[in-house]
Amino acid sequence: MLDYKKLIKNRELRLQLIKLLSFIPSAPYLKLVYRIKTGKTLHLKNPVGFNEKLNWLKLHEQHAEYTQLVDKLAVREYIRAKIGEEYLFPLLGSWDSFDDIDFDALPEKFVLKCNHDSGSVKLITDKTAIDKAELKTFFDRRLAMNAYCLGREYPYKDVKPRIMAEAFMEAPDGGGINDYKFFCFHGKPKIMFVATDRATDVRFDFFDMDFNHLDIENIHEHSEKAVPKPACFDQMKALAETLCQGMKFVRIDLYEIGGKIYFGEFTFFHGGGFYLFNPPHWEKDLGDWIQIDT
């Protein structure tokens, strides 16, 4: 019998088992992965909780246009048309393979990442010090992955994997930049969280739309420091609302640097639909905001 508690704590065991089970049809696969990751049963016939409903949406709300929105290269054209070029990080180049990258043409500092997944980000602060062999191994592996396979997040299934480079952006004080992630339900941002201390020990702090701190914990602990309200918070809310129209749920990620807002990404399945909220009542409270017809 599977020791779910052991699997939940052991990331490598979890990933190995999930890969072995990748041939299973989506509904039973999601139920099994949900059990492995959360230790709980995934109810798909009558979903109630937030993460249950996210997994239901994977199976029943498959919109072809979402493929462009999760593609970090293709989405740039959408953002350009929807809210404007000024909200995009400067793009330095994009390539089909690591071997195509002309490092001589890139600045000393830049960000290298893939367009088709989550987490394949390398912050290059001194290109003369990079280990190209190590970078190549990393990106070759990422390019070979289809992000759809692990979480059955259908928008990623047909994204063509590429590598892209963006300008390295820093806060005016030289520190890290904060991530502002808005949870939008049926065209309205309802709550958001700020991701801080990414370079050391990332923390998530949740807020309502008046920037009142909420007791929610999810994936990461709260910051030990007060998280200040950005001066452009109202503009962020307005942008998130513009971008989330017509969607039952989407997370709109934005950055603020020196008072200027930049678009991050669309995330349709926060945490892949596998990270429960605490206190537990938030699972139902957030789930109640997603209206579905089962």
pLDDT for res 171? 82
As annotated, the residues of the chain forming the CATH 3.30.470 domain(s) are 172-288
pLDDT for res 22? 73
pLDDT for res 12? 66
Give the residue-averaged pLDDT of 44-61: 97
pLDDT for res 275? 96
Q: Is the pLDDT of residue 193 over 50?
A: yes
Q: Classify 172-288 by CATH class.
A: alpha beta
> pLDDT exceeding 90 applies to what percent of the chain?
80
Give the residue-averaged pLDDT of 25-50: 94
Average pLDDT, the chain: 92
Is 179 or 13 the better-scoring residue by pLDDT?
179
Q: Give per-residue pLDDT as tens, 204-246.
A: 999 999 999 999 999 999 998 899 999 999 999 999 999 999 9
Q: Give per-residue pLDDT as tens, 81-109.
A: 999 999 999 999 999 999 999 999 999 99
Q: Give per-residue pLDDT as tens, 153-178.
A: 999 999 999 999 999 998 887 667 88
Residue 119's pLDDT band (boundaries 50, 70, 90)? Answer: confident
Say what the pTM is.
Answer: 0.92
Is 159 or 2 the better-scoring residue by pLDDT?
159
Contact status, residue 286 vs residue 51, Cβ threshold 8 Å: no
